[in-house]
Amino acid sequence: DGGITQSPKYLFRKEGQNVTLSCEQNLNHDAMYWYRQDPGQGLRLIYYSQIVNDFQKGDIAEGYSVSREKKESFPLTVTSAQKNPTAFYLCASSIGGQGSSYNEQFFGPGTRLTVL
Amino acid sequence: GQQVMQIPQYQHVQEGEDFTTYCNSSTTLSNIQWYKQRPGGHPVFLIQLVKSGEVKKQKRLTFQFGEAKKNSSLHITATQTTDVGTYFCAGDRGTSYGKLTFGQGTILTVHP
């Protein structure tokens, strides 16, 4: 069964702690993305990766870090420097490649992070 | 940077009424995509529009891409309770490997 998995679904952390959110895909997609969703707002891009061992900052990268050591995996770390980390985090992937006709994004189920 | 504005933010309709959400980009787009997010769920791809003036239909849903490739709309005819959710447009400038800029979304509520 192909798709994107994110774990855990709900995550609670104390203020000042770093936390890593998991994202795995078995769609053989080159491109992967992390978004943050807050109530009343659209999806805001945190980081994206076009290929293994390469990634770029999105619109709101401050306080976050990522790695892309494997094609299937794109974990996101929410660091203690992120001032307002409580949010719904969505991971997505797409076939990738500039000029690709098929760059629709497939989303995982999301992780709801609450920092206490 | 690029901005994508979407209106209205909320829309409440009676079942059977029509619904339209509008999307406007500050820059010319390579393509625009539409996604639907059910309450408690994640966004799911609906369609991609690429050509200037393009119109596509999916059953009761009609999608349009403006002539200048800066605006788009989604129209639902005769809404049903299964249409509830948040509808997002997402613009692709074609410059960064599928990087999308999402609108704020329109939350649709359908009263039976």
What digits encode the pLDDT tens for the residues B70-91? 999 999 999 999 999 999 999 9
Beta-sheet pairing, B10-14 with A111-115: unpaired
* Alpha carbons within 13 A on the beta-carbon side of B80: 4
How far apart (Å, rounded) are the C-alpha atoms in residues A18 and A88?
16
User: Chain B residues with CB-CB distance to A under 8 A?
Assistant: 1, 4, 6, 9, 31, 33, 35, 41-45, 48, 50, 88, 90, 92, 94, 96-105
pLDDT, tens digit (0-9, with 9 covering 90-100), for B28-76: 999 999 999 999 999 999 999 999 999 999 999 999 999 999 999 999 9
Tell me: pLDDT of A102 over 80. no
- Please check whether residue A48 touches B, CB under 8 A: yes
DSSP strand E in B1-112: where? 4-7, 10-14, 19-25, 31-37, 43-49, 55-58, 61-65, 71-76, 85-92, 100-102, 106-111
By the 10 Å C-beta count (0-12 exposed, 13-18 middle, 19+ buried), B28 is classed as middle
3-state secondary structure of A15: coil
Alpha-carbon span A62 to B42, nearest angstrom: 24
Instruction: Look at residue A103 in the predicted model and tell me its pLDDT.
Output: 81
Q: What is the pLDDT of residues A11-45, one digit of tens each?
A: 999 988 999 999 999 999 999 999 999 987 789 99
The pLDDT of residue A96: 74
Cβ distance A51 to A37 under 8 Å? no
Q: Report chain B residues whose CB lies below 8 A from the CB of A50.
A: 97
What CA–CA distance (Å, rounded) separates B77 from B75? 6
pLDDT at A95: 87
